[in-house]
């Protein structure tokens, strides 16, 4: 088994049967939720995961949520969670921390409402994707308010313990790129490239968040951003392969973006695209620190247009627990109105210049997730940078 680049503390986390954060870390999260509840005048929270959508359940007590998980939360009171399906029930009882886990019996919202009434709930906050019909049932029994925005805000700033888990996800993502670069050869198709990627981290307990991969002829390019779904196109000598890879360690993923040629040197166009992308990455990260404005980041990216190119993918986005602000494009491809915010210490963001030609036929991917510090940034990844060559 290929070793991941982890320190002893992270190796110990990886070795746990079902890893958990410390009691202090969960207490921090629960106190933060309690403050949000007080702010909005709600006496209970309903935390929802539905068909693997909605990560607050895992953040609050550890259960990743598979089909449906409805958790009733109130600070200082044992949580109750109703889950589906029955065969998921035994493992949920093991993983969910300090939770009374019950089978929902295919009527989880009914049992949840009954439990809330038993507790004397009047005003209920909701975090997560509660389906409309079930939301209506809840709203018929209680005053209901969404606390999704408050939860998003809580996830934007990472704790020290969370950063360790993100570093594990980053190491798995780095291993995915190494496997892709090492195993890529003419004749493989994009689906087989995806299999190479997954082989690097599944054996360590990682799971797939995304693997966007594209390959195109450098002589006659037809693709300028990696595909979200692989095609059966086969790799050939003279291709460029570019990718965006994120492997999860539970809910904690890295994100690494790289490009490489296959059996050939880069053409002048691809050399210029990649040089511009790397220089843009350096220019943007040079202004990153706690307190950086969005205008500073936008200004730092201006050399994309100065060199006659544009972008497709977002240039910068918040990451880790969600796809967060700041979400920024460039002058020639804005991502909407500049958000009214400053970078803060312990935000994790991805800087990823997907520089493309004006004709939108050719592009490259460069970048990775970083942590914002007081005076700059910390790399979360160890993968080398550069325009690589396979074969």
pLDDT tens digits for range 279-317: 999 999 999 999 999 999 999 999 999 999 999 999 999
DSSP string, 262-273: ESSPPPHHHHHH
Domain count, the chain: 2
Report yes or no on 2 lying in a domain.
no
Read off the CATH number of the domain in which 199 is found. 3.90.230.10
Which of 90, 121, 155 corresponds to the end of one domain? 155
Last residue of a domain, one of 102, 135, 155: 155
Same domain, 254 and 355: yes
Q: Do 185 and 133 fall into the same domain? A: no
- pLDDT tens for the chain, 391 residues long, are 467 999 999 999 999 999 999 999 999 999 999 999 999 999 999 999 999 999 999 999 999 999 999 999 999 999 999 999 999 999 999 999 999 999 999 999 999 999 999 999 999 999 999 999 999 999 999 999 999 999 999 999 999 999 999 999 999 999 999 999 999 999 999 999 999 999 999 999 999 999 999 999 999 999 999 999 999 999 999 999 999 999 999 999 999 999 999 999 999 999 999 999 999 999 999 999 999 999 999 999 999 999 999 999 999 999 999 999 999 999 999 999 999 999 999 999 999 999 999 999 999 999 999 999 999 999 999 999 999 999 9
Q: Is the separation of the CB atoms in 246 and 210 below 8 Å?
A: yes
> Same domain for 65 and 186?
no
Q: Which residue has tokens 């909701």?
A: 126
| Closest alpha carbon to 354 in 305, 314, 325 | 314
**86 and 195 share one domain:** no
Q: Final residue of a domain: which of 138, 155, 172?
A: 155
Is 385 contained in some domain?
A: yes
Domain co-membership, 111 together with 175: no
Spatial contact of 380 and 371, defined as CB atoms under 8 Å apart: yes
Q: 50: helix, coil or strand?
A: strand
The answer as to whether 1 is a domain residue is no
Tokens of 369: 């997730």
Q: Is 133 domain-assigned?
A: yes
- Give the count of beta carbons closer than 10 Å to the beta carbon of residue 212: 19
Q: Is residue 298 part of a domain?
A: yes
**How many whole angstroms from its chain centre is CA 153?**
15
* CA-based nearest residue to 178, from 381, 10, 20: 381
The DSSP output letter for 142 is S
**Which residue do the tokens 């087989």 mark?**
192
Same domain, yes or no: 103 and 189: no
Q: 292 with 343: CB under 8 angstroms?
A: yes
Residue 185's domain spans which residues?
Answer: 160-390
Q: Is residue 196 part of a domain?
A: yes
| Tens digit of each residue's pLDDT (9 = 90 or more) over 135-178 | 999 999 999 999 999 999 999 999 999 999 999 999 999 999 99
Reported as type and span, the H/E element at residue 24 is: helix 23-40
Of 96, 142, 101, which is closest to residue 119 (Cα–Cα)? 142
The answer to whether residue 3 is domain-embedded is no
Is there a contact between 350 and 375 (Cβ–Cβ < 8 Å)?
Answer: no
Tell me the whole-structure pTM to 2 decimals.
0.96
Q: What is the CATH number of the domain that holds 23?
A: 3.40.350.10
Residue 113 and residue 176 share a domain = no
**210 and 108: one domain?**
no
256 and 168 in a common domain: yes
Shared-domain flag, residues 165 and 270: yes
Give the separation between CA 204 and CA 199, rounded to whole angstroms.
9
Determine, yes or no, domain membership for 247. Answer: yes
Strands 44-50, 123-127: pairing kind: parallel
Same domain, 282 and 135: no
Residues 127 and 256 in one domain: no
């Amino acid at each position: 088994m290929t070793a991941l680049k982890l320190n002893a503390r992270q190796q110990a986390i990886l070795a746990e049967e079902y890893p958990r954060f410390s009691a202090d870390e969960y207490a921090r999260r629960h106190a933060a939720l309690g403050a949000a509840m007080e702010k909005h005048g709600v006496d209970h929270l309903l935390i929802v995961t539905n068909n693997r959508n909605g990560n607050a359940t895992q953040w609050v007590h550890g259960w990743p949520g598979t089909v449906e998980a409805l958790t009733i939360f109130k600070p200082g009171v044992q949580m109750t969670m109703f889950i589906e399906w029955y065969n998921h029930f035994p493992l949920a009882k093991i993983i969910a921390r300090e939770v009374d886990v019950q089978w929902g019996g295919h009527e989880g919202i009914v049992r949840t409402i009954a439990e809330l009434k038993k507790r004397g709930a009047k005003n209920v906050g909701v975090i997560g994707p509660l389906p409309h019909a079930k939301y209506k049932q809840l709203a018929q029994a209680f005053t209901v308010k969404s606390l999704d925005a408050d939860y998003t805000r809580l996830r934007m700033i990472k704790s020290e313990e969370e950063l360790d888990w993100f570093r594990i996800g980053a190491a798995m993502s780095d291993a995915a790129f190494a496997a892709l670069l090492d195993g890529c050869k003419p004749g493989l198709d994009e689906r087989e490239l995806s299999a190479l990627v997954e082989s690097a981290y599944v054996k360590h307990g990682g799971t797939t968040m995304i693997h966007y991969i594209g390959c195109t002829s450098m002589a006659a390019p037809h693709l300028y951003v990696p595909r979200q779904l692989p095609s059966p196109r086969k790799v050939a000598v003279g291709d460029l392969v570019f990718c965006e890879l994120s492997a999860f360690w539970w809910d904690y993923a890295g994100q690494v973006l790289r490009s490489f040629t296959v059996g050939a040197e880069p053409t002048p166009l691809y050399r210029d695209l990649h040089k511009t992308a790397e220089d843009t990455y350096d220019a943007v990260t040079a202004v990153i620190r706690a307190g950086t404005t969005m205008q500073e980041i936008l200004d730092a990216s201006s050399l994309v247009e100065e060199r006659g190119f544009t972008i497709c993918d977002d240039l910068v986005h918040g990451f880790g627990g969600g796809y967060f602000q700041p979400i920024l494009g460039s002058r020639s491809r804005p991502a909407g109105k500049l958000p009214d915010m400053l970078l803060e210490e312990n935000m994790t963001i991805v800087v990823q210049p997907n520089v493309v030609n004006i004709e939108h036929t050719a592009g490259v991917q460069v970048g990775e997730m970083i942590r914002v510090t007081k005076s700059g940034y910390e790399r979360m990844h160890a993968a080398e940078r550069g325009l690589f060559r396979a074969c």
